Structure 1
Amino acid sequence: MLVMGGFMSLSSVALAAPALAHHPFGGSTPTNAIQGFLSGLGHPVIGLDHLAFVVVIGLLAAAMGQGLIMPITFTLMALVGTGMHLMGLNLPLPEVIISASVLLFGILLALKQPPAPFIVLALAAISGLFHGYAYGEAIVGADMGPLFSYLLGFTSIQMVITITAYTTAKRLAAKSEVGTLNLRFAGSAFAGLGFAFLSGIWLA
């Protein structure tokens, strides 16, 4: 219940939060390495859709017993997605796909028997592309120093959040079957968040 309860409060603001990348500088492009790093740290935290996904992928990795390969794949593909944005390569409907990824991975976590690991890994890779593509919007036009700091910032914070979620979920699941059941309940909560994010886009 700790995992589910800690993130259920996100639902109270989900409809009011657009499914876009956010950062601490009000839309201004970072002009130095410190700003770039802080902006990178802020994006996956301030953007509730991104934060929800980073948490749920860590929980799902623990539930499936596949180690950190899934979060690492997501994080690496997010870098690729950012690169695609910077090169001017467009991905369709990024806001919709990002919100849908929260819904989908919440459903996967809620399932008693998720799909084969390679399928989930492929979905994590695709999700990473779209999340990273959204991250790229904030750094377009920046110099190389802020750019690399930005990439380091959002990569670091995503791994910290994911590993924390993963470790917490492993400890809960190891205690009893109730812990595993709580993870499935958390999956339902994240699926609800994803639906709320999608509804916010449709109603905007």
Structure 2
Amino acid sequence: MAYVSGKRVSRNWVAVLGALAVWLSFSPAFAHHAFGGELPQSWWQGFLSGLAHPLIGLDHLAFIVAIGLISAGQNWRYGIPLGFVLAALGGTGLHIAGLDLWLMELGIAGSVVLFGLLLVLARQVKGWVLLLFGSLAGLFHGYAYAEAIIGAGWMPLVWYLIGFTVIQYGVALLSLGVAEYLGSRVSGLTRWAGWIITGVGAGFLTLAVVG
């Protein structure tokens, strides 16, 4: 058992969730593509694929929720997730341009673990630091998003970018709102969320290292 601010936290849930993340990563249903591996052919397919990608990728979703939760109460609370979203666009552009981004999977999983642990520790981190590391994480996540759209036409590509930008910022703002509304009403809410997010990240990090 681990202790966080005098309270015992079971690590069993972290292990279970980490194992779940690894299992999901092998499942075709969670292969980061809304159309089963087929490229979007129209604007609406591109848009739907963009909306789906950050949600069916458990590692991406965990980080988006984490950056929303950790932005609560910050002076830059809307700018921190926005920095991540804009950097994700840049990361997608890097991949489409054919530029390499080393250690992509490690970068994605590591970002999930880092922000999960920051939530667990419940330490106040300066906004510019969160913006910096959130934006760096955005490059890795965005680079991975490009895998579902490379080879598609310009129209599906543009709407794909719009789709994943809208859904990421929306989920982050929803998480931020939940943290600010329920954080003072539900004891330890963000810390428990942090443990779950850390467990998910640890599962993907293990897979990235072993794989």
TM bucket (normalised to shorter chain) is 0.7 to 0.9
- How far 1:186 moved relative to its partner? 1.6
Label 1:64 to 1:193 Cα distance change in 2 as closer, same or farther (>3 A): farther
Gap regions ≥5 residues in structure 1 = 1-7
Moved more, 78-87 or 14-23: 14-23
Q: Percent identity?
A: 44
Q: Which amino acid aligns with 2:171?
A: I
The answer on whether the counterparts of 1:16 and 1:200 sit within 8 Å (CA) in structure 2 is: no
Q: Number of matched residues?
A: 195
Equivalent of 1:91 in 95, 101, 110: 101
Query: Given residue 119 of structure 2, which amino acid in structure 1 is its aligned partner?
Result: L
Q: Return the alpha-carbon distance in structure 2 between the equivalents of residues 51 and 10 of structure 1.
A: 14
Which residue pairs with 2:193 in the alignment? Answer: 186
TM-score by length of 1: 0.87
Of the three residues 73, 77, 82, the one matched with 2:92 is: 82
Shift of residue 148, structure 1, vs aligned partner:
0.6
Shift in CA distance, 128/108, structure 1 to aligned 2, threshold 3 Å: same
Deviation of the 1:63 alpha carbon: 5.0
Aligned to 1:5: none
Distance apart, 1:184 and its partner CA:
1.8
1:16 aligns with 2:26: no
2:42 is matched by which residue type in structure 1?
A: N
Matches within 5 A, 1:27-176: 27-62=37-72, 64=74, 66-175=76-185
TM-score (norm 2): 0.84
Q: Which has the higher helix share?
A: 1
Residues 122 and 116 (structure 1), Cα distance of their counterparts in 2 relative to 1, 3 Å cut: same
The letter of the residue matching 1:200 is L
Taking only aligned residues, the RMSD between alpha carbons, in angstroms, comes to 2.2
